[in-house]
Structure 1
Amino acid sequence: MTGTTAHLTANGSGPDAGGTGHGDGPGDPAGRRTAGRRLSPRGLAWLVWRQHRLVLGVLLAGSAAAAVWGAVLRGRMAGFIDAHHLAGCSLISLVPRCEGTQEAVGAFRAAYHSSLQLAELGLVLLPALIGVFLGAPLIARELEAGTHQLVLTQSVGPLRWLAAKLALPALVVLAATSGLSAVFAWLWQVGGDEVSGSYWYSTLGFGSLGPIPVAYALLGLAVGTLTGLLLRRTVASMALTLAAMIVLQSAFHLLRPYLMPVTTTEFGRDAATRAPDDSWVLGEGHTTRSGARLSAEDMGCRPDGDYAACLREHEVTGRFLDQHPVAHHWPLAWIEAGLVLAVAAALTAVAFRVMRRRHG
């Protein structure tokens, strides 16, 4: 910023508009327009990019590289599955066409399971990394160094400055994580669930599919920005952001099974219960004459003892199985993503409120 900028009003004019040596000459409109543009939204976006281009550039470049790696991995996985006719097969499968494929499934998992888990882990950890290395320093570094005072003495108000600081990183984060999520979903179509043994309901699988990584990435940015604004210390803000993201992601993980009603299937007392491989089983056990539900641990019946007598003793009349079928995957994902985005929006609103109270 130049000294001229400090005297400009929001429309780029000021007391020196008549020409006092701040332009190229008396009444120099070109000089005023050049200075005024520095405080326009376009100018603020350029300033934010200049300040954070290293982190934003690494995020974009890393996302592009990961997308290429995912495409190559998908091609290799698809070739292996097609060559051995493994689509829909698992190590223990009741599908007749999968008979005799256990060895090939084991070879597939040995070759590609670790790569798939690495991709999942990267998408699950990415939101916390965005919060720590992009969100937390976004405001805290300027508040700590005092450089925000220079910007706020210009015609840029504090709320407009915060909006500009958030807008460009949010767009980059949205583009990068959306692209990565789309590539991973494309990869998952080939090797997810049965063949790889990494199911949609696992912690890593659910956290890396669909809108989930995108929503958490924006949450990480919001958490980091707010902690930086509150603490005004870069390192402390980074540490608190990491802790907050661990707590928030863990809390939503615990809440996840209850976002939709489970599907309950009932069986006869002696019937064998087996859920599909792609179902998320949350509970199973026995039902009694009184309607109570008992797990095997509750009853204490031992298979090597008189199991039938134990069932009679507890007046068992049937069995139950609680599960989320694979059809619940995307509704669960969108519900959780919506809740996460609501939290991110609330934290962003708090950040703007704090900025307005502290800096007018």
Structure 2
Amino acid sequence: MSAMILRGPERLLVRQHRLVLWMSGALTLAGIALVAGAWLFTSSAADDFAGTGCSVQHTVHGCGIQVRHFLSIELYYNHLFSYAGLVMAVLPALVGLFVAGPLIGRELEDGTYRLSWGQSVSPARWLAAKLAVPGAVTVAGVAVLSAVYAWGWSRTYETNYPSESSEPLIYGAMGPVPVASALLGLALGALIALLVRRALASVTLTVAVSLVLLVARESVRPGGPFWPLQLMETAILLALAAVATALAFRVLRRYHA
């Protein structure tokens, strides 16, 4: 997002936190490269194994080493999605941490928000900018990562270690759920920062609440087909994000009516 096409508090926010925004973009590209590179390596290993004349299903004498080596590569590819799913699961806490800490909490604690409000920027416009810019970056980045993850996960069915979409870490890393979850983390970070008004305390509480919600979601999620569950959970998460956002603006008006 270029600061040149933005105006007012949005442009200032991008300039102040451009390093974090650049790092977010770099990490997104790194995630894409990791998944694509892992599959290219695994696919190449499959081609090499096929050229040996050995078979996983019907192992013959002299093929033991080749079979074990090939299966270990496929198993590593499968494990990659468990680790990547864990990263996707904690993204909402990381987004909320950024909003609760450096984006809002620190300004409220230091009193620097008064500088923005003294330049014809209303409190509501100030908060809207604090939510809109990271919100746009979050939606774009997490949506891309989710799509790349889903593509990489689908390739596991071409290996001897397929992963099921019902597995908690895999389910939560694909579809619209991770995007909605990250937006909820953003809204919670803003609300908690406005209530606590201390950067470190806001960060700590936001991370704690995000992790509690993650565990609660995994505990109460019912079984069923993938897409109906995804759409239902997405709707719930977006509704909670909307409520948290509305409460954040209400708290802001109460403090600065």
TM-score normalised by L of structure 2: 0.84
Counterpart of 1:188 (choices 145, 153, 177) is 153
Counterparts of 1:81 and 1:134, CA distance in 2: 44
1:78 partnered with 2:54: no
Mapped to 2, the partners of 1:193 and 1:127 lie a distance apart of 31
Q: Give the structure 1 partner of residue 64 of structure 2.
A: none
Per the TM alignment, residue 100 of structure 1 is displaced from its structure 2 partner at its CA by 3.8
Aligned partners of 1:78 and 1:190 also within 8 Å: no
Match of 1:341 among 238, 242, 249: 238
CA distance in 1, matches of 2:211, 2:254: 29
| Offset of residue 99 of structure 1 | 4.4
Kindly tell me the number of residue pairs found equivalent between the two proteins.
242
- Is the contact between residue 99 and residue 105 of structure 2 (CA under 8 Å) also seen in structure 1? no
Which residue number in structure 1 is paired with residue 255 of structure 2? 358
- Measured in 2, the distance between the counterparts of 1:193 and 1:222 equals 39
Native 8 Å contact 2:188 2:241 kept in 1: yes
Q: 1:172 corresponds to which letter in structure 2?
A: V
Q: Which residue is equivalent to 1:240?
A: 205
3-state SS, counterpart of residue 199 of structure 1: coil
- Residues 1:50 and 2:15 are matched in the alignment: yes
Q: How far did 1:175 drift?
A: 0.7
Deviation of residue 41 (structure 1)? 6.4
Structure 1: give runs of 5+ residues left out of the alignment. Answer: 1-39, 86-96, 259-323
The AA in structure 2 aligned to 1:348 is T
Quickly say closer, same or farther: Cα 1:120–1:84, change in 2 above 3 A.
Answer: farther
Where does residue 125 of structure 2 map in the other structure? 160
Q: Does residue 114 of structure 2 align to residue 149 of structure 1?
A: yes
Residue among 256, 270, 274 paired with 2:221: 256
1:193: Cα distance to partner? 9.5
Give me the whole-angstrom Cα distance separating, in 2, the residues matched to 1:77 and 1:198.
Answer: 15
How far did residue 73 of structure 1 move?
Answer: 1.4
Larger radius of gyration: 1
Describe the superposition over 1:2-52 as per-residue Cα deviations: whole angstroms up to 9, x where unpaired: xxxxxxxxxxxxxxxxxxxxxxxxxxxxxxxxxxxxxx9612211111222
SS for the counterpart of 1:209 is coil
2:76 counterpart (85, 102, 111)? 111
User: Aligned to 1:131, which of 96, 105, 116?
Assistant: 96
| CA distance in 2 between partners of 1:138 and 1:193 (Å) | 44
Task: Name the structure 2 match of 1:215.
Answer: 180
Give the letter for the 1:133 counterpart: F
CA deviations over 1:144-181 (Å, ceiling 9, x no partner): 00011121122211111110111111001111111111
2:163 is aligned to 198
Residues 154 and 166 (structure 1), Cα distance of their counterparts in 2 relative to 1, 3 Å cut: same
Measure how far apart 1:106 and its partner are.
Answer: 3.9
CA apart distance, 1:80: 4.1
Other-structure match for 1:174: 139
Aligned to 1:286: none
Identity, % of aligned positions:
43
Relative CO higher for 1 or 2, CA cutoff 8 Å, sep ≥ 6?
2
CA distance in 1, matches of 2:157, 2:99: 31
Tell me how large the CA RMSD over aligned residues is: 2.6
Question: Aligned pair 1:65/2:13, yes or no?
Answer: no
State the secondary structure of the residue aligned to 2:18. Answer: helix
- Which structure has greater helix proportion? 2
TM-score by length of 1: 0.62
2:85 is aligned with 1:120: yes
Asked if structure 2 preserves the Cα contact closer than 8 Å seen for 1:135 and 1:220, the reply is no
